[in-house]
Amino acid sequence: MYTIIITDKKEESRLQMTNEQYYTFIQPYSDAKDILYARLNVLEHNLYGKTATHPTHNIQERIKKKESIEKKLLKKGKEPTMMNAKDYLQDIAGLRVICYFTEDIYSLADTLKFQSDLIIIRECDYIKHPKPNGYRSYHIIVGVPVYCMDGMEYFPVEIQFRTMSMDFWASMEHRILYKMKRDDKEQIAAELKEYADALVTMEKQFAKYTDKQGLSFT
């Protein structure tokens, strides 16, 4: 009987992900995220110029931790390897753009989609089509070109566009239903859905007071 020992370093790295490999693996995703972050800032300045009204309240950024990548791959029934992470995960890098109003979200997203060097991989409009629990957001996964010594490759970055009220609701819903052990989750979920509907009405009321004069989205 013979014991097969893997000596090929490439094969070895494909079968496992060490901390060192993780940090090397996520570097181009981090670069793609930074490129897209800067692009969004440039687009905002070009769209709104020196007007007092800007669409974004803030932009949050994140890179999935090694444990989160492994957990998500296992949930998909895949081995937690670098190759599988690259093949099956498109949200390793992410941005969350918090805007004031819904129309600001669509203006920024539409402008982003016209950028010739970016690839739109997938988009989900949970604003026009909210999830049953009341969740609203606009998700878009963008392929960003990252240039390295040996050429160029596209890396995906997930952007979640939300208004301030959408982000508030999503954060509270996650904290209440997923971070706490409760016996009344069904009742709380129904109440949270009512709050989500109320926030939609509130947003529309606030939108009446915004001054959109002098803004151009073309």
* Predicted pLDDT at 86: 95
- The residues spanned by each domain of the chain are 21-164
Residue 78: CB atoms within 10 A of its CB come to 16
pLDDT value of residue 180: 66
Q: Render 49-111 in DSSP notation, one character per residue.
A: TT-S--SEEEEEEEE--HHHHHHHHHHTT----HHHHHHH-S-SEEEEEEESSHHHHHHHHHH
> Of 178, 74, 94, which is closest to residue 135 (Cα–Cα)?
178
DSSP letter at 209 equals: T
Measuring CA to CA, how many Å separate 115 from each of 39, 102, 111, 194?
Answer: 10, 21, 7, 38
pLDDT in tens, the chain (218 residues): 323 233 344 544 445 688 999 999 999 999 999 999 999 988 888 776 655 567 888 999 999 999 999 999 999 999 999 999 999 999 999 999 999 999 999 989 999 999 999 999 999 999 999 999 999 999 999 999 999 888 999 999 999 999 999 999 999 988 887 766 767 778 888 889 999 999 999 898 888 877 554 444 33
* Fold topology of 21-164: Beta Polymerase; domain 2 (3.30.460)
How far apart are the C-alpha atoms of 113 and 142, rounded to whole Å? 9
